[in-house]
Amino acid sequence: MPARSFITTAIDYTNGAPHIGHAYEKVLADVVARYRRLRGDDVFFLTGVDQHGQKVQQSAEKQGVAPEQFVVDITAQFVALWKKLHVEYDGWAATTEPLHKTCVQRILQRLWEEKKIYKDKQGGYYSVRQEQFLTDKERGPDGEFGPEWGQVEFREQENYYFKLAEHKEWLLHLIDSRAALVYPDFRRGELRNAVEKLAGDLCISRPKSRLEWGIELPFDADFVTYVWFDALVNYISFAPGGYDARSGSHHPEFQRWWPATIVIGKDILIPAHGIYWMIMLHALGFSDADMPRLVVHGWWNISGAKMSKSLGNVVDPNVLADTYGAAALRYYLMSDIATGKDSDFSEERLLGRYNADLANSIGNLLNRSLSMSQRYRGGVLRRAAGESPLRGQAQAAVSAYREQLDTFQVQAALTAVTDFVTACNTYVEMTAPWKLAKDPERADALDHVLYALAESLRIIAILLSPVLPNATRGIFAQLNSAGAMTLAAAEWGGLPDGHTVGKPVPLFPRIEAPPTE
């Protein structure tokens, strides 16, 4: 029976247009999902949008539109971008969907009845001007709240709290006993340190007088739930089969897919996913074996600085895809960052990588291999006797690729492939088929080379297919290969003796740098 992979990502806030960070995470998860399919898993890939909360309400207010309308418009921008970038998902989690709201409310109701949620009065500093409670983060270096907050007063407020702290020991034990809980491992260490400091419970309600745009508490209509308590639930409310929040028992379809592998950025590991979400699931009765796995990626910065609207350095993935194409953007996002680490975004590097790896290296190999087969053999391949030196290199590339992608390291997996492409191009130079073609005595040697090149290209196309799904279908079409696009088929010898390859068509035309002003 094939393995099952349930891959999900963070759901994106619909408080503004998608940016390059969103695009990176979605392409990363799409590549992981496609890779799992390639290796033979049954895959369900879920992603979506986080539509409630203060940020959305504020952005909608600024534009003078109702939040309902605002999220529809922004959601459409995300959906259109995923289509443009060939991100293909099986499920779409939009948190304003009735199915999701019902699930969140049933969970709240159950936790309330089980006394895992309680009401309490707590005091805090409140900014009258900004209509919000302030925390120590808002204090200036002098320990005071700055003038931007206007009049600040101490206020008491009733709210609902979810019991977090009582799960601390359990969570520490889970983190220690399951190395695969968080990837990469150094993030697991960070999470552990944060859990050590866990003291209080989590306020999960917001009075409607402050925030209306959320899911109402089923047991108190004066409150909506805190946006994270709503958003995190998407991973189970939209899971295949759906989650039975009322009984809490896992029906067979849900259990077949759960637990999920959740791809998130480093900013939302602590406390949201690593603490709140794990404890929410535990409180709902999920077993330790049913805790999800968190794959934590790093951030794209701009010249070392955080990307932000206020700095005006936000990179729009739509513009990049329109200028350079989806393949160039996907390839750049997957090849210029190591999963878990940060990287600096650079349009110049995007262009450089495209031209070097795709246009020059792979494009050139495809073009020269097919044109030589056409020119010297009318496109017909012969499997001459004898081992090709490329065979061993192909096998080594496949196993390095596998090993890297099994641990989410797309960049290193791509390096294994591009190194193999370089080896193939070197092989062309060394064997000089144009010289072999002049010597009738060396006809077998020429067949040998031409077969090895076509066969290598077939394997390269399979390996690149998660990152470049369309272009690699193009390589298969030019090779005229009817073979399977599966990792199992990336074994040497897939093209039969006598196979006829097609004519080369440039797949990755060189792109000149856009003129600078």
Contact set with ligand MSP (CB under 6 A): 10-13, 21-22, 24-25, 50, 231-232, 234, 264-265, 267-268, 299-300, 307
Return the number of the residue (100 or 499) whose C-beta is nearest ligand MSP: 100
CB of 376 vs ligand MSP, minimal distance in Å: 48
Return the number of the residue (126 or 345) whose C-beta is nearest ligand MSP: 345
CB of 23 vs ligand MSP, minimal distance in Å: 9
- Sheet of 152-162: strands edge to edge? 132-134, 117-127, 152-162, 202-203
Name the pairing type of β-strands 300-301 and 293-297: unpaired
Return the number of the residue (341 or 435) whose C-beta is nearest ligand MSP: 341
Return the number of the residue (338 or 400) whose C-beta is nearest ligand MSP: 338
| Closest to 231 measured CA to CA, from 33, 48, 5, 98 | 48
What whole-number distance in Å separates Cα of residue 102 and Cα of residue 116?
A: 19
In degrees and rounded to multiples of 5, residue 13 shows phi and psi of -65, 140
Cβ–Cβ < 8 Å for 182, 294: yes
Return the number of the residue (42 or 344) whose C-beta is nearest ligand MSP: 344
Cβ–Cβ < 8 Å for 343, 332: no
Residue given tokens 């000149």 in the structure block: 512
CB of 298 vs ligand MSP, minimal distance in Å: 7
Task: Provide the 3-class DSSP secondary structure of residue 127.
Answer: strand
What whole-number distance in Å separates Cα of residue 45 and Cα of residue 43?
A: 6
CB of 181 vs ligand MSP, minimal distance in Å: 17
What is the separation of C-alpha 388 from the centre of its chain, rounded to a whole number of angstroms? 37
Return the number of the residue (25 or 201) whose C-beta is nearest ligand MSP: 25
Q: Is the dihedral of CA 86, 89, 90, 94 positive or negative?
A: negative
Tell me which amino acid residue 85 is. L
Return the number of the residue (234 or 481) whose C-beta is nearest ligand MSP: 234
Cβ–Cβ < 8 Å for 467, 414: yes
What is the separation of C-alpha 134 from the centre of its chain, rounded to a whole number of angstroms? 33
What whole-number distance in Å separates Cα of residue 368 and Cα of residue 458?
A: 15
CB of 307 vs ligand MSP, minimal distance in Å: 5
CB of 398 vs ligand MSP, minimal distance in Å: 29
List b or e across 129-167, with b for residues whose CB sees 16 or more CB atoms inside 10 angstroms. Answer: eeebbeeeebeeeeeebeeebeebeeeeeebbbbbbeeb
Residue nearest to ligand MSP (CB): 265
CB of 55 vs ligand MSP, minimal distance in Å: 9
Return the number of the residue (46 or 468) whose C-beta is nearest ligand MSP: 46
CB of 488 vs ligand MSP, minimal distance in Å: 33
Question: What's the DSSP call for residue 500?
Answer: B
CB of 74 vs ligand MSP, minimal distance in Å: 10
Return the number of the residue (32 or 417) whose C-beta is nearest ligand MSP: 32
What whole-number distance in Å separates Cα of residue 153 and Cα of residue 423?
A: 69
Neighbours of 76 (CB within 10 A): 11
